[in-house]
Amino acid sequence: MEEQEKQPEQTDVLASTQKIIKKALDKLGYPDEMYELMKEPIRMLTVRIPVRMDDGSTRIFTGFRAQHNDAVGPTKGGVRFHPNVTEKEVKALSIWMSLKAGIVDLPYGGGKGGIICDPREMSFRELERVSRGYVRAISQIVGPTKDIPAPDIFTNSQIMAWMLDEYSRIREFDSPGFITGKPLVLGGSHGRESATAKGVTICIREAAKKKGIEIDGARVVIQGFGNAGSFLAKFMYDAGAIVIGISDAYGALHDPEGLDIDYLLDRRDSFGTVTKLFKKTISNEELLELDCDILVPAAIENQITEKNAHEIKASIVVEAANGPTTMEATRILTERDVLLVPDVLASAGGVTVSYFEWVQNNQGYYWTVEEVEGKLEAVMVDSFDNIYKLSRTRKVDMRLAAYMIGVRKMAEASRFRGWV
């Protein structure tokens, strides 16, 4: 906690999100009470999870589940496993999920979970035990009509499967709609694994049209080689773009002629690590400043800040990660006429297909990959257009426009319910 309180405001993701929410609600003409309701999650659970480790010792892990606002419907959002997870971060992430749901018009509010742990240093069985322990600890506040978890950083379909199994055992009935991002055989949806990257790809294409840039031949830099970054590199590469830089948590690779993405995908491990195999690497900081047309931060928070925003060469920045750009950096990039597609729009493809998965689970009838991708395409194009237009007509940056659209439905629903 002390650590969190010392955090400078610039990189305090919760404080900056609250500021933008306030601005968005002011622009839309809502009273202060609405901001008071929305500045924090309505529910925040902290749990301690005892886990028997493979060596016989017991470790107690701390986990969180935040539910931001359930006026529109059940809350929804991923669970991340990461050593840097904090309560504040999970709160901010739950608010961002509410905004994403508002932007792509899903019948959900936002939720988010996290466990402070490092899965890179844990065995398969230890991961299973922590996943099951987490579900036991939060089982009372989650469920297919309450709060629906999903994957996030360092969690995947196997972890969703364990969590589903634990939940079904506790409830004593099969409940595939409890969680999304499941393996196909357990009620997962076609297209879910690549959905975030598909959504980002659509945003890149739409942004490129606005800037008069051809994707074929465009130079792209992607920070992060996890779920979003790796699929995105492949989609860009296949579309004829030249991916000149990629990175993971340990460093970055750069080749002005274009990297061999198929080879890198083949060599990456399940945590998205690949740079350790190479002698000649550059730093993540250097990667962000490379000369390119399109930059995609697809890793973690606070990567583009007031320190490096002036050095960004790309004319389009599309945020596949949650919270990669600070408020001050957003201002600098917008002033420099860089087209910034904010996280709450760009990364909303994941939760959109999660919603499709939940709908398929509820109806017990499953769609083809073409159906899923066709619906995702329509949703993303519409959402991009709405935000782009609003940012032009109201003369606000893309992030504020996205927040204005993102909070609107939730604010209306809270009002109809008589909360504010």
Q: Is residue 320 at the binding interface for ligand GLU, with CB under 6 A as the rule?
A: no
Residue that the structure tokens 């389009």 belong to: 316
- Which residue in the list 112, 198, 234, 409 is annotated as catalytic? 112
CB of 314 or CB of 351, closer to ligand GLU: 351
Structural Rg of the chain based on CA atoms:
20
The distance of closest approach from Cβ of residue 279 to ligand GLU in the complex, given in angstroms and rounded to an integer, is 34
CB of 30 or CB of 162, closer to ligand GLU: 162
d(Cα 222, Cα 63) in Å, to the nearest integer? 30
C-alpha distances (whole Å) from 383 to each of 6, 55, 236 are 37, 50, 21
Q: Which residue is nearest to ligand GLU (CB)?
A: 78
CB 54, CB 126: distance < 8 Å: yes
Q: What is the DSSP string of 376-413?
A: HHHHHHHHHHHHHHHHHHTT--HHHHHHHHHHHHHHHH
Residue 56, helix vs strand vs coil = coil
C-alpha distances (whole Å) from 62 to each of 32, 117, 270 are 34, 8, 23
Q: Is residue 82 at the binding interface for ligand GLU, with CB under 6 A as the rule?
A: no
User: Which one of 44-52, 73-81, 128-136, 160-168 is the stretch in contact with ligand GLU (CB under 6 A)?
Assistant: 73-81
Q: What is the DSSP string of 242-288?
A: EEEEEEETTEEEE-TT---HHHHHHH--TT---GGG-SS-B-HHHHH
Residue 321, helix vs strand vs coil = coil
Residue among 16, 97, 49, 29 nearest 344 (CA): 97
Q: Which of positions 206-265 make contact with ligand GLU (CB under 6 A)?
A: none
The distance of closest approach from Cβ of residue 315 to ligand GLU in the complex, given in angstroms and rounded to an integer, is 26
Q: Which of positions 136-195 make contact with ligand GLU (CB under 6 A)?
A: 150, 152, 180-181
In sequence order, the 6+-apart residues with CB closer than 8 A to the CB of 81 are: 114, 115, 117, 118, 119, 127, 130, 153, 154, 155, 159
CB of 93 or CB of 222, closer to ligand GLU: 93
Q: Which neighbouring-strand residues pair with 251?
A: 248
The distance of closest approach from Cβ of residue 110 to ligand GLU in the complex, given in angstroms and rounded to an integer, is 9
The distance of closest approach from Cβ of residue 324 to ligand GLU in the complex, given in angstroms and rounded to an integer, is 12
Secondary structure of the chain: what % helix, strand, coil (to 5)?
Answer: 50, 15, 35
Is there a catalytic annotation at residue 112? yes
CB 82, CB 118: distance < 8 Å: yes
CB of 237 or CB of 384, closer to ligand GLU: 384
The distance of closest approach from Cβ of residue 178 to ligand GLU in the complex, given in angstroms and rounded to an integer, is 12
Q: Is the dihedral of CA 179, 185, 191, 196 positive or negative?
A: positive
Contact mark string toward ligand GLU, 104..143, x via CB under 6 A: ----------------------------------------
The distance of closest approach from Cβ of residue 155 to ligand GLU in the complex, given in angstroms and rounded to an integer, is 8
CB of 322 or CB of 391, closer to ligand GLU: 322
CB of 338 or CB of 410, closer to ligand GLU: 410
Candidates 77, 109, 191, 324; binder of ligand GLU (CB under 6 A) is: 77
d(Cα 358, Cα 108) in Å, to the nearest integer? 11
Per rule CB under 6 A, count of chain residues that contact ligand GLU: 13
The distance of closest approach from Cβ of residue 322 to ligand GLU in the complex, given in angstroms and rounded to an integer, is 6
d(Cα 400, Cα 381) in Å, to the nearest integer? 18
CB of 30 or CB of 403, closer to ligand GLU: 403
What is the token pair recorded at 336?
Answer: 């420099």
The distance of closest approach from Cβ of residue 200 to ligand GLU in the complex, given in angstroms and rounded to an integer, is 11
Q: Is residue 76 at the binding interface for ligand GLU, with CB under 6 A as the rule?
A: yes
Contact mark string toward ligand GLU, 343..382, x via CB under 6 A: ----x--xx--x----------------------------
Q: Which of positions 260-319 make contact with ligand GLU (CB under 6 A)?
A: none
CB of 315 or CB of 354, closer to ligand GLU: 354
Residues designated catalytic:
112
Site for ligand GLU, rule CB under 6 A: 76-78, 100, 150, 152, 180-181, 322, 347, 350-351, 354
